[in-house]
Amino acid sequence: MRIGVLGTGTVGRTLASALLSGGHEVRLGSRTTGNEAAVAWAASIGGPASEGTFADAAGFGEIVINATAGTASLDALALAGAELLAGKLLIDVANPLASSNDMPPTLTVCNDDSLGEQIQRAFPEVRVVKTLNTVTAALMVQPTLVDGAHAMFVAGNDAQAKSDVGELLQEFGWPASSIMDLGDITAARGMEMYVALRLRLWQTAGTDVLNVEVRAGG
């Protein structure tokens, strides 16, 4: 498939490279065409890899992935343009961290709202699915970096969109049994608020290559 990835940071480039390895065509989008990281990335791969503006990537993709910083996501999506996004599956992997340096970290939206919901409200024609925001970039595309079963959450209002995301997650190596559908896009609140716990677990474990497995009894 043709996939547009918005955001040229570690998360965007990691996802884009993994999607290319899976046989997809990928356009990496940034605020301005010719972004240094994006050009270097596309040149190093060639062929099915290209770069451009947010709008270029959004127009290119049958699926669009929001891998921008959470604080920049709504602006980036506005630059991509509602018309180019309309009807498409938008996979939102961002966390609304106020800063990547604050410890303890704070979120710019939480509790009674979430970035996932803000995006869905701002772009009602888009089918938003929140996922992957609960793990670090390397683990997103290589879940075997952590031994044993561990969970990947998805949330969104469109069942078919979540099913399509499940297939992409399985291409990345997530077993179907590890993919947990938490319901509608309001579940993005819990998925985003979990980042506060995850960053403490990172401090404790000494690595950000970590995740949780959910165990139910009864």
Q: By CB under 8 A, is residue 173 in contact with its own copies?
A: no
First-to-final CA distance of the chain: 42
Instruction: Using alpha carbons, select from 132, 84, 117 the residue that is nearest to residue 189.
Output: 117
Residue whose C-alpha is closest to residue 23's, from 48, 42, 41: 48
Distance CA 139, CA 106 (A): 23
Interaction residues for its own copies, span 135-154 (CB under 8 A): 139, 145-148, 150-151, 153
Contact residue for its own copies among 44, 87, 112, 176 (CB under 8 A): 112
Binding segment (CB under 8 A) for its own copies, from list 72-80, 119-127, 167-175, 179-187: 179-187
Give me 78's structure tokens: 């506005």
Pick one of 13, 111, 164, 172: the residue that binds its own copies (CB under 8 A).
111
Nearest distance, CB of residue 46 and its own copies, angstroms: 30
Q: Binding of its own copies at residue 159 (CB under 8 A)?
A: no
Please answer whether residues 149 and 175 qualify as being in contact, where contact means their C-beta atoms are separated by less than 8 angstroms: yes
Using rule CB under 8 A, residue 104 touches its own copies: yes
Nearer to its own copies, 78 or 103 (CB): 103
Figure out which of the listed residues 9, 110, 158, 170 binds its own copies, where binding follows CB under 8 A: 110
How many residues contact its own copies, by CB under 8 A?
A: 47
Rounded CA-CA distance 64/144 in Å is: 25
Residue labelled with tokens 């938008």: 90
Task: Tell me how far apart the alpha carbons of residues 169 and 32 are, in angstroms, rounded to a whole number.
Answer: 29
Of residues 34 and 183, the one with the C-beta less far from its own copies: 183
**Least gap, CB of 166 to its own copies (angstroms):** 14
Number of neighbouring beta carbons within 10 Å of residue 36 = 9
Distance, CA of 133 to CA of 210 (rounded, Å) = 13
**Which positions touch its own copies (CB under 8 A)?**
104, 106-107, 110-112, 139, 145-148, 150-151, 153, 155, 180-183, 186-187, 189-191, 193-194, 196-201, 203-207, 209-218
